[in-house]
Amino acid sequence: MAKSEEKVVRTTVWSAGAGCHGGCGVKLYVKDGKLVRVEGDENHPWNQGRNCPRVLALTQYINHPDRLRYPLKRVGERGEGKWQRITWDEAYDIIEKKLKDIRVEFGAESVIFVQGTGRDIGGPITLLMYSYGSPNWTQLGLVGHSCYTPRQAAMWTTHGDYCVADCSQFLAKRYEDPEWKVPKCIIVWAQNPPSGDPDGFFGHWIVDCMKRGSELIVIDPRVNWIASRAKIHLQIRPSTDGALALAMANVIINEGLYDKEFVENWTYGFEELKQRVQQYTPEWAAPITWIPKEKIIEAARFYAASKPAAIHWGIPIDSCPQGTVVSQAITHLWCLTGNIDNPGGNVIARASHGVTSYPYTQDEMKKLYGEEVFKKLSEKRIGGDRYPMIKNFRAWASEDVILEQMETGKPYPIKAAWIQTNNVLESAADPRRHYEAMKKLDFIVCVDLFHTPTTEAVADIILPAATFAEKDSIRSWWSPLCCTVKALEVDECKSDWQMNFELAQRLTTQPWKYKTLKDMFDERLKVANVTFDELAAKGSWEATPPGPSRPYYRWKRGLLRKDGKPGFNTTTGKVEFYAKLQEQWGLDPMPYYEEPEEGPISTPELWKEYPLIMNSGHRIQAFFHSEHRQIPWLRELEPYPQFEISPETAKKYNVSDGEWVYLENKRGRVKFKARVIPGILHDVIAPTHSWWLPETEGKAPNFFGTFQYNVNNLVPAGTQGRSGWGGAGYKRFLCRIVKIKDQKE
> If DSSP codes are grouped into helix, strand and coil, which group holds residue 267?
strand
As a whole number of angstroms, the distance between CA 289 and CA 601 comes to 11
Domain match, 418 and 334 both: no
Per-residue b/e over 584-602, b at no fewer than 16 CB within 10 Å? ebebbbbbbbbbbbbbbee
Residue 638 binned pLDDT confidence (cut-offs 50, 70, 90): very high
pLDDT of residue 558: 97
Domain match, 385 and 441 both: yes
The full DSSP string for 492-553 is T-B-HHHHHHHHHHHH-SS----SSHHHHHHHHHGGGT--HHHHHHTTSEEPPPSSTTS-S-
Closest by CA position to 247, among listed 304, 308, 309, 164: 304
672-693 pLDDT, tens per residue?
999 999 999 999 999 999 999 9
* CATH at residue 118: 3.40.50.740
Instruction: List the domain range (segments joined by +) for residue 201.
Output: 162-349+556-584
DSSP 731: T
Collect all residues with Cβ–Cβ distance below 8 Å to 657 and sequence separation of at least 6: 650, 674, 675, 676
Domain match, 389 and 502 both: yes
Collect all residues with Cβ–Cβ distance below 8 Å to 256 and sequence separation of at least 6: none
| Residue 3 clears pLDDT 70, i.e. is over it | no
589-633 pLDDT, tens per residue?
999 999 999 999 999 999 999 999 999 988 888 999 999 999 999
Would you say residue 383 lies in a domain? Answer: yes
Q: Can you tell me the mean pLDDT for 688-702?
A: 96
Would you say residue 500 lies in a domain? Answer: yes
Domain match, 230 and 139 both: no
502-534 pLDDT, tens per residue?
999 999 988 899 999 999 999 999 999 999 999
Would you say residue 528 lies in a domain? Answer: no
The full DSSP string for 235-266 is -PPTT-HHHHHHHHHHHHHHTT-S-HHHHHHH
Length of the chain: 745
If one counts the domains in the chain, the total is: 3
As a whole number of angstroms, the distance between CA 675 and CA 104 comes to 54
**pLDDT more than 70, % of the chain:** 99
Would you say residue 591 lies in a domain? Answer: no
* CATH at residue 577: 3.40.228.10
Per-residue b/e over 508-547, b at no fewer than 16 CB within 10 Å? eeeeeeeeebeebbbebbeebebbbeebbeebbbbbbeee
Closest by CA position to 386, among listed 372, 371, 402: 402
Q: Which helix (H) or strand (E) holds 234?
A: strand 232-234
Q: Can you tell me the mean pLDDT for 376-385?
A: 88
Q: Measured between alpha carbons, how far apart are the two ends of the chain, in Å?
A: 51
Per-chain mean pLDDT for the chain: 95
* Contact present, 58 and 467 (Cβ < 8 Å): yes
Domain match, 137 and 166 both: no
133: left (phi over 0), alpha (psi -120 to 50) or beta: left
Phi first, then psi, for residue 489 (nearest 5°) are: -125, 150
Would you say residue 280 lies in a domain? Answer: yes
Would you say residue 695 lies in a domain? Answer: yes
DSSP 12: E
* CA distances (Å), origin 448, targets 108, 116, 118, 417, 537: 23, 11, 12, 14, 30
Does the predicted TM-score (pTM) go above 0.85? Answer: yes
Would you say residue 745 lies in a domain? Answer: no
As a whole number of angstroms, the distance between CA 41 and CA 51 comes to 9
User: Sign of torsion, CA 718 719 720 721?
Assistant: positive
| Residue 377 clears pLDDT 80, i.e. is over it | no
Domain match, 117 and 173 both: no
5-22 pLDDT, tens per residue?
889 999 999 889 998 888
Would you say residue 662 lies in a domain? Answer: yes
Domain match, 315 and 266 both: yes
Domain match, 323 and 230 both: yes
Domain match, 440 and 310 both: no
* Contact present, 551 and 170 (Cβ < 8 Å): yes
pLDDT of residue 744: 66
Domain match, 140 and 245 both: no
How do beta strands 346-349 and 162-165 pair?
A: antiparallel
Rg (CA), the chain: 25
Q: Can you tell me the mean pLDDT for 38-48?
A: 95
Domain match, 123 and 190 both: no
> If DSSP codes are grouped into helix, strand and coil, which group holds residue 740?
coil
* CATH at residue 700: 2.40.40.20
pLDDT of residue 140: 96
pLDDT of residue 87: 98
| Residue 2 clears pLDDT 90, i.e. is over it | no
| Residue 1 clears pLDDT 70, i.e. is over it | no
Domain match, 464 and 571 both: no
